[in-house]
Structure 1
Amino acid sequence: MNQDFYCDEVLNGKTPVNTVFETDSVLAYHHTQPFYDHHIVVIPKIHISSLISDEAENTGQLLLEMMEVIKKIAEEMVNKTGASKIITNLGAYQDTKHLHWHVVSGNKIR
Protein backbone atom coordinates (compact mmCIF):
# COMPACT_ATOMS: atom_id res chain seq x y z
CA MET A 1 0.00 0.00 0.00
CA ASN A 2 1.40 3.40 -0.98
CA GLN A 3 1.44 6.07 1.67
CA ASP A 4 -0.14 9.40 0.84
CA PHE A 5 2.14 11.92 2.54
CA TYR A 6 -0.19 14.79 1.71
CA CYS A 7 -3.34 13.25 3.22
CA ASP A 8 -1.62 11.31 6.02
CA GLU A 9 0.83 13.99 7.15
CA VAL A 10 0.30 17.48 5.72
CA LEU A 11 -3.49 17.77 5.59
CA ASN A 12 -3.87 16.00 8.96
CA GLY A 13 -1.39 18.42 10.56
CA LYS A 14 1.09 15.71 11.61
CA THR A 15 3.83 17.36 9.53
CA PRO A 16 3.79 21.15 9.96
CA VAL A 17 4.32 23.16 6.80
CA ASN A 18 5.13 26.77 5.99
CA THR A 19 2.03 27.85 4.05
CA VAL A 20 2.54 30.22 1.12
CA PHE A 21 -1.06 30.45 -0.10
CA GLU A 22 -4.30 28.69 0.73
CA THR A 23 -7.89 28.52 -0.50
CA ASP A 24 -10.79 26.37 0.68
CA SER A 25 -9.68 23.64 -1.78
CA VAL A 26 -5.95 24.16 -2.41
CA LEU A 27 -2.83 24.42 -0.24
CA ALA A 28 0.56 25.79 -1.37
CA TYR A 29 3.54 25.48 0.97
CA HIS A 30 7.33 25.34 1.07
CA HIS A 31 8.51 21.78 0.38
CA THR A 32 9.54 20.05 3.62
CA GLN A 33 12.65 18.57 1.95
CA PRO A 34 13.30 20.88 -1.03
CA PHE A 35 15.09 19.77 -4.18
CA TYR A 36 15.68 23.36 -5.37
CA ASP A 37 16.68 26.67 -3.77
CA HIS A 38 13.02 27.74 -4.04
CA HIS A 39 10.53 24.85 -3.92
CA ILE A 40 6.79 25.20 -3.37
CA VAL A 41 4.28 22.32 -3.47
CA VAL A 42 0.64 22.87 -4.50
CA ILE A 43 -1.93 20.22 -3.53
CA PRO A 44 -5.71 19.81 -3.51
CA LYS A 45 -7.16 19.42 -0.02
CA ILE A 46 -9.04 16.30 -1.09
CA HIS A 47 -7.47 13.07 -2.27
CA ILE A 48 -7.00 12.83 -6.02
CA SER A 49 -4.40 10.25 -6.94
CA SER A 50 -3.01 11.99 -10.05
CA LEU A 51 -3.69 14.37 -12.90
CA ILE A 52 -4.79 11.47 -15.11
CA SER A 53 -7.01 9.73 -12.56
CA ASP A 54 -10.69 9.33 -13.30
CA GLU A 55 -11.83 9.97 -9.75
CA ALA A 56 -15.12 11.83 -9.45
CA GLU A 57 -13.44 14.66 -7.52
CA ASN A 58 -11.04 15.32 -10.38
CA THR A 59 -13.23 18.09 -11.71
CA GLY A 60 -12.41 20.92 -14.03
CA GLN A 61 -13.30 23.49 -11.37
CA LEU A 62 -10.79 22.12 -8.85
CA LEU A 63 -8.08 21.84 -11.51
CA LEU A 64 -8.81 25.42 -12.59
CA GLU A 65 -8.49 26.60 -9.00
CA MET A 66 -5.19 24.73 -8.66
CA MET A 67 -3.90 26.33 -11.87
CA GLU A 68 -4.88 29.78 -10.59
CA VAL A 69 -2.89 29.15 -7.39
CA ILE A 70 0.06 27.75 -9.38
CA LYS A 71 0.00 30.80 -11.67
CA LYS A 72 0.07 33.14 -8.65
CA ILE A 73 2.95 31.24 -7.00
CA ALA A 74 4.91 31.01 -10.28
CA GLU A 75 4.46 34.73 -10.96
CA GLU A 76 5.70 35.61 -7.46
CA MET A 77 8.69 33.28 -7.94
CA VAL A 78 9.58 34.83 -11.32
CA ASN A 79 9.37 38.30 -9.76
CA LYS A 80 11.64 37.17 -6.90
CA THR A 81 14.16 34.94 -8.73
CA GLY A 82 13.78 35.71 -12.45
CA ALA A 83 12.47 32.24 -13.40
CA SER A 84 10.32 29.30 -12.36
CA LYS A 85 9.53 25.78 -13.45
CA ILE A 86 6.22 23.96 -12.90
CA ILE A 87 6.42 20.17 -12.54
CA THR A 88 4.03 17.30 -11.91
CA ASN A 89 4.85 13.61 -12.03
CA LEU A 90 2.76 10.69 -13.28
CA GLY A 91 2.97 6.91 -13.11
CA ALA A 92 6.27 5.51 -11.86
CA TYR A 93 7.68 9.05 -11.51
CA GLN A 94 5.04 9.89 -8.91
CA ASP A 95 6.31 8.83 -5.46
CA THR A 96 3.23 10.02 -3.56
CA LYS A 97 -0.05 9.07 -5.22
CA HIS A 98 -1.76 12.38 -4.50
CA LEU A 99 -2.02 15.02 -7.21
CA HIS A 100 0.58 17.69 -6.57
CA TRP A 101 2.58 20.27 -8.49
CA HIS A 102 6.04 21.63 -7.76
CA VAL A 103 6.84 25.27 -8.50
CA VAL A 104 10.62 25.59 -8.37
CA SER A 105 13.46 27.95 -9.12
CA GLY A 106 17.18 28.19 -8.55
CA ASN A 107 19.80 25.49 -8.28
CA LYS A 108 18.97 21.86 -7.69
CA ILE A 109 20.22 21.12 -4.17
CA ARG A 110 19.65 17.36 -3.99
Structure 2
Amino acid sequence: MQPYTGDDFYCDIAIPNPTHLNVVHEDDQVLAFHHTRPYWATHIVVVPKRHIASLTTVTAADESTARRLFEVVQTIAARVEQTHGAAAVLTNLGNYQDSKHLHIHIHSGPRNT
Protein backbone atom coordinates (compact mmCIF):
# COMPACT_ATOMS: atom_id res chain seq x y z
CA MET A 1 0.00 0.00 0.00
CA GLN A 2 1.30 3.47 -0.92
CA PRO A 3 2.02 5.92 1.92
CA TYR A 4 -1.14 7.93 2.62
CA THR A 5 -0.86 11.73 2.59
CA GLY A 6 -4.51 12.86 2.90
CA ASP A 7 -6.42 13.85 6.03
CA ASP A 8 -9.11 11.10 6.25
CA PHE A 9 -7.52 7.68 5.81
CA TYR A 10 -10.74 5.99 6.89
CA CYS A 11 -13.09 7.53 4.29
CA ASP A 12 -10.45 7.57 1.56
CA ILE A 13 -8.78 4.17 2.00
CA ALA A 14 -9.99 1.87 4.79
CA ILE A 15 -13.79 1.91 4.48
CA PRO A 16 -13.91 1.58 0.67
CA ASN A 17 -11.17 -1.12 0.67
CA PRO A 18 -11.61 -3.43 3.68
CA THR A 19 -10.14 -6.37 1.75
CA HIS A 20 -6.73 -4.66 2.12
CA LEU A 21 -7.08 -4.75 5.92
CA ASN A 22 -6.96 -7.38 8.64
CA VAL A 23 -10.63 -6.93 9.58
CA VAL A 24 -11.83 -7.81 13.08
CA HIS A 25 -15.44 -6.69 12.62
CA GLU A 26 -17.54 -5.21 9.85
CA ASP A 27 -21.23 -4.41 9.65
CA ASP A 28 -23.28 -1.75 7.87
CA GLN A 29 -22.26 0.99 10.37
CA VAL A 30 -18.83 0.08 11.78
CA LEU A 31 -15.47 -1.25 10.62
CA ALA A 32 -12.79 -2.57 13.01
CA PHE A 33 -9.37 -3.73 11.90
CA HIS A 34 -5.80 -4.22 13.04
CA HIS A 35 -3.98 -0.90 12.67
CA THR A 36 -1.95 -0.71 9.46
CA ARG A 37 1.01 0.77 11.40
CA PRO A 38 0.50 -0.59 14.94
CA TYR A 39 1.95 1.33 17.89
CA TRP A 40 1.30 -1.52 20.33
CA ALA A 41 1.62 -5.31 20.17
CA THR A 42 -2.18 -5.51 19.80
CA HIS A 43 -3.65 -2.42 18.12
CA ILE A 44 -7.17 -2.37 16.69
CA VAL A 45 -8.95 0.65 15.22
CA VAL A 46 -12.74 0.98 15.24
CA VAL A 47 -14.41 3.54 12.95
CA PRO A 48 -17.93 4.49 11.95
CA LYS A 49 -18.46 3.96 8.23
CA ARG A 50 -20.38 7.22 8.02
CA HIS A 51 -18.09 10.23 8.32
CA ILE A 52 -18.05 11.81 11.76
CA ALA A 53 -15.12 14.19 12.24
CA SER A 54 -14.34 13.43 15.91
CA LEU A 55 -15.80 12.59 19.29
CA THR A 56 -16.43 16.28 19.96
CA THR A 57 -18.52 16.70 16.82
CA VAL A 58 -20.98 13.85 17.53
CA THR A 59 -24.57 15.17 17.50
CA ALA A 60 -28.03 13.74 18.14
CA ALA A 61 -28.20 12.89 14.42
CA ASP A 62 -25.25 10.51 14.99
CA GLU A 63 -26.90 8.65 17.89
CA SER A 64 -27.50 5.34 16.12
CA THR A 65 -24.02 5.25 14.62
CA ALA A 66 -22.33 6.29 17.88
CA ARG A 67 -24.30 3.70 19.84
CA ARG A 68 -23.24 0.96 17.41
CA LEU A 69 -19.64 2.20 17.43
CA PHE A 70 -19.46 1.91 21.23
CA GLU A 71 -21.14 -1.51 21.22
CA VAL A 72 -18.42 -2.77 18.88
CA VAL A 73 -15.67 -1.07 20.90
CA GLN A 74 -17.02 -2.66 24.09
CA THR A 75 -17.12 -6.15 22.54
CA ILE A 76 -13.63 -5.96 21.03
CA ALA A 77 -12.09 -4.35 24.14
CA ALA A 78 -13.56 -7.13 26.31
CA ARG A 79 -12.06 -9.74 23.97
CA VAL A 80 -8.63 -8.04 24.03
CA GLU A 81 -8.79 -7.74 27.83
CA GLN A 82 -9.75 -11.41 28.20
CA THR A 83 -7.00 -12.53 25.81
CA HIS A 84 -4.18 -10.28 27.04
CA GLY A 85 -5.20 -9.44 30.62
CA ALA A 86 -5.47 -5.72 29.89
CA ALA A 87 -6.71 -3.28 27.27
CA ALA A 88 -6.76 0.47 26.76
CA VAL A 89 -9.32 2.42 24.74
CA LEU A 90 -8.58 5.90 23.43
CA THR A 91 -9.45 8.47 20.83
CA ASN A 92 -7.58 11.57 19.77
CA LEU A 93 -8.82 15.13 19.24
CA GLY A 94 -7.60 18.23 17.48
CA ASN A 95 -3.94 18.23 16.51
CA TYR A 96 -3.54 14.76 18.07
CA GLN A 97 -5.94 13.38 15.46
CA ASP A 98 -3.93 12.57 12.32
CA SER A 99 -6.97 11.32 10.44
CA LYS A 100 -9.93 13.69 10.72
CA HIS A 101 -12.49 10.91 11.15
CA LEU A 102 -13.71 9.61 14.50
CA HIS A 103 -11.72 6.50 15.32
CA ILE A 104 -11.14 4.60 18.52
CA HIS A 105 -7.97 2.67 19.31
CA ILE A 106 -8.08 -0.51 21.37
CA HIS A 107 -4.65 -1.66 22.38
CA SER A 108 -2.72 -3.94 24.67
CA GLY A 109 0.86 -4.95 25.25
CA PRO A 110 4.12 -3.10 24.85
CA ARG A 111 4.55 -0.20 22.48
CA ASN A 112 6.27 -1.16 19.22
CA THR A 113 9.62 0.46 18.60
TM-score under structure 1 length normalisation: 0.90
Q: Structure 2 residue aligned with 1:13, among 1, 9, 17? A: 17
Counterpart-to-counterpart distance in 1, 2:55 and 2:19: 24
Of residues 9-18 and 77-86 in structure 1, the stretch that sits farther from structure 2 once superposed is 9-18
CA contact (8 A) 2:91 2:105 kept: yes
Shift of residue 54, structure 1, vs aligned partner? 5.4
Deviations 1:38-86 (CA, angstroms, capped at 9, x unpaired): 00000000111111115675x1221111110000000100111000000
Q: 1:28 maps to what in 2?
A: 32
Which structure's residues are more often helix, by fraction? 2
CA contact (8 A) 1:21 1:28 kept: yes
CA contact (8 A) 2:44 2:106 kept: yes
Inter-CA distance 15–49: structure 2 relative to 1 (3 Å threshold): farther
Counterpart-to-counterpart distance in 1, 2:69 and 2:23: 15
Q: Which aligned segments of 4 or more residues in structure 1 are displaced greater than 3 angstroms?
A: 54-57
Q: 2:7 maps to what in 1?
A: 3
Structure 1 gap ranges (5+) = none
* RMSD value, Cα: 1.8
Q: 2:88 maps to what in 1?
A: 85
Q: 1:94 maps to what in 2?
A: 97
Amino acid in the other structure paired with 1:9: I
